[in-house]
Amino acid sequence: MAAAGETLTISGYIVHHLTNLTYGKLPAGFERHAADGSVSVVPEGGMWTMANEGTEAAAMGFTAIHVDSMLWSVGLGIVFCWLFRSVAKKAEAGVPSGFVNVVEMIVQFVDDTVRDTFHGHNKLVAPLALTVFVWVFLMNLMDLIPVDLIPHTLALLGVPYHKIVPSTDPNITMGMALGIFILMLYYSIKVKGFGFVKELTMNPFNHWVFIPVNLFMEVVGLLAKPFSLGLRLFGNMYAGEMIFILIAALFSAGIAWLVPAGLLQMGWAIFHILIITLQAFIFMVLTIVYLSMAHEDH
Amino acid sequence: MNINLTLFGQMIAFVCFVLFCMKYVWPPILAAMKEREQKIADGLAAADRASHDLELAKEKAVERLKEAKQEAAAIVESANKRGNQLVEEAKGAALVEADRVKASAQAEIEQESNRAREALRSEVAALSLAGAEKVLGAAIDQEAHKQLVEKLAAEL
């Protein structure tokens, strides 16, 4: 729903849905436009506040945090930990039942995937892959909740913006990708030592003359990994979310659109079940592959 | 779609969740699954062993049955032999007994006939005396002829 100062147009509706609830520091001298049209200027030293509109969020720059993304992402992470911890406590060698079966199936699946792909010895990779898979899946799953349900409810309670799908926020996906990138660097150096430097400088042309060329190509290749990892998930989920929003916007096009829009909504949601699982799986597999590459000496 | 501190917030949360999963989720679940796997493998091995044992026991049982049959046959045979022997023995004993009975019967018959002969002899003596008395019409001197008659009777 439109926040203060916005009229309810289709583009306004879409932009509104794509704006995060942002808490951050407004720079000094920024002019805030209140709902009643009055203008206030941010005093010297800046001001930490909740952004009331997209321009304010943009003005905050890097010193801001997406409250909704963080809350949902951490909340879902806690859901994951709680669910799996409760099973871990119950787990025993007897006959498993109910939810324990589901969790064990996921664990088995992740374990098999890790075993197939990752050949080094590392106690971190399998739990990391499990966390990535389930957490990303849960974050993606939020996409299936009707786009207006939670944001609109919260809007009635006075929260101006809300995005409930954390994986449509590049900060979230890139945050995870960067975490994995740091692990890649750490294990590359730890396992290969000087070999890592050699890998960066002596590939693909094994001659000292080509060291700058090699270094450039290898560094680009290395940096491409976390970016492709994070942006792939973000892009897929963002596009999916966008289509949900467009379909939701169709409902406002008149009573005649009710049935087709409903069918579209349902069709896309069913198709999206595949996408969210697939994206979570791809993110996990790439994580394992990248870490596996970091462990393998050429 | 601004890049901001959320990036680092997510990184920190990521690290926390991964560490939690690594410490409190993954090991117990995997340990339980490994243990169950082991248990099932043991169970299957035990089942295999049991079926093998059953096979052995069956073989043994067949062997024992055969042995028992042989033993039974041997027992029956020896019993038959013994029976035959007993029959033979009984037959021998019976023959001996029969001979004995026959002998004693013969002796008795001999005795009886002797006795009868004696009786007859005395009877004949008496009768012939009486006959002679009648024929002669006169009393024969019992004392005088007794010797004669007795001699006659003895000749009978």
E strand segments, chain A: 22-26, 31-33, 39-41, 47-50, 64-66
- Note the pLDDT of residue A166: 92
A80 and A57 belong to one structural domain: no
- What Å distances lie between residue A293 and A130, A196, A277, A281, B113, CA to CA? 19, 11, 24, 18, 137
How far B69 CA lies from chain A's nearest CA (Å)?
A: 49
Angle between helices B6-20 and A67-90 (to 10 degrees): 0
The dihedral through the CA atoms of A67, A68, A73, A76 has a sign that is positive
Q: Say if the Cβ atoms of A178 and B32 lie within 8 Å.
A: no
Q: Of A11, A34, A63, which one is at a domain's C-terminal end? A: A63
> Of the candidates A282, A295, A280, A269, which has an alpha carbon nearest to the alpha carbon of residue A184?
A295
A161 and A219 belong to one structural domain: yes
ipTM of this complex > 0.90? no
Q: Say if the Cβ atoms of B13 and A170 lie within 8 Å.
A: no
> Of the candidates B47, B93, B11, B10, which has an alpha carbon nearest to the alpha carbon of residue A73?
B10
In degrees, rounded to 5, the angle at the alpha carbon of residue B15 between the alpha carbons of residues B13 and B21 is 100
Catalytic residue, chosen from A52, A69, A140, A236, is: A236
Separation of CA A78 from chain center: 16
Domains identified in chain A, total number: 2
Q: Can you tell me the distance from the alpha carbon of B94 to that of B102, in angstroms, rounded to the nearest whole number?
A: 12
Burial zone of A280 (CB within 10 Å; 0-12 exposed, 13-18 middle, 19+ buried): buried
For residue B44, is pLDDT > 90? Answer: yes
Q: Of A46, A63, A80, which one is at a domain's C-terminal end? A: A63
Q: Which of A88, A124, A166 sits opposite B28 (nearest CB)?
A: A88
A254 and A106 belong to one structural domain: yes
A158 and A22 belong to one structural domain: no
E strand segments, A79-154: none
| Phi, psi for residue A6 in degrees, rounded to 5 | -105, 140
A39 and A141 belong to one structural domain: no
Q: Which of A77, A170, A174 sits opposite B17 (nearest CB)?
A: A77
**Beta-sheet pairing, A22-26 with A64-66:** antiparallel
Catalytic residue, chosen from A86, A232, A252, A292, is: A232
Tell me which residues of chain A have a pLDDT lower than 70: 1-8, 298
Neighbours of A133 (CB within 10 A): 24
A88 and A187 belong to one structural domain: yes
A157 and A28 belong to one structural domain: no
Domain extent at residue A170 = 66-295
Contacts of A107 in chain B (CB under 8 A): 26, 29-30, 33
- Note the pLDDT of residue A25: 86
A94 and A206 belong to one structural domain: yes
A32 and A90 belong to one structural domain: no
To the query of whether residue A20 is one of the catalytic residues in this protein, the response is no
Residue of B nearest to A58 (CA): B2
Contact call for residues B45 and A149 (beta carbons, < 8 A):
no
When the pLDDT of each residue in chain B is averaged and rounded to a whole number, the result is 89
A195 and A234 belong to one structural domain: yes
Beta bridge partners of A47: A26
A246 and A211 belong to one structural domain: yes
Please tell me the pTM assigned to this model. 0.76
| Phi, psi for residue B73 in degrees, rounded to 5 | -60, -40
- Note the pLDDT of residue A3: 43
Q: Of A10, A44, A63, which one is at a domain's C-terminal end? A: A63
Q: Indicate the pLDDT class of residue B8, thresholds 50, 70 and 90.
A: very high
Q: What is the token pair recorded at A249?
A: 């916007």
- Note the pLDDT of residue B138: 61
To the query of whether residue A115 is one of the catalytic residues in this protein, the response is no
Q: Which of A22, A66, A93 sits opposite B35 (nearest CB)?
A: A93
- Note the pLDDT of residue A52: 80
A44 and A179 belong to one structural domain: no
Q: Say if the Cβ atoms of B25 and A88 lie within 8 Å.
A: yes
pLDDT in tens, B99-153: 999 999 999 999 999 998 888 888 888 888 788 778 776 666 667 777 777 777 7
